[in-house]
Amino acid sequence: MKFPHQNKRSATFDLTSLIDVVFLLLIFFMLTTTFVNLENRVKVNLPSGDFAAAGSSENIIVTITENNTVYFNGKLIDPLKLTESVAAKIKEEPEKIVILEADANVLHGKVIRIMDLLKKGGAEKIAIATQPAENK
């Protein structure tokens, strides 16, 4: 007995949905990537560490230079007014992270004093900036 042949459908792979997913991922990473504007930043010699990560320009950046000068988001500030400035910025956007960039030659005590001022200003999240360690 001869069975009737059914039309064999060839297996095809539709690339349209794959392209849509890749396109959405591309848009997601483009929108979530932050570009750091280094022109307005204070130059400091950051200590190196294995867990170094780039800071976002959306965060609050406090910089301590080698000569113990303190900058708040790239602008020179009196350390006594740092608490007020951080409190005002945190009040506007409480989810912001404070990134502390201290020169490698700044004494540990100075960094701790600045961290205390940041805590008094309401900074819940403080990150210490480092540069990537050189592999030897």
Q: How do strand 131-132 and strand 126-128 relate by DSSP bridges? A: unpaired
Do residues 85 and 91 touch, judged by C-beta distance below 8 A? no
User: Class of the 48-132 domain?
Assistant: alpha beta
The pLDDT tens digits for 23-66 are 999 988 887 775 544 445 666 666 666 554 544 557 889 999 98
Token couple for 99: 């990134």
pTM (whole model) above 0.85: no
Residue 38 CB: number of other CB atoms within 10 A?
Answer: 8
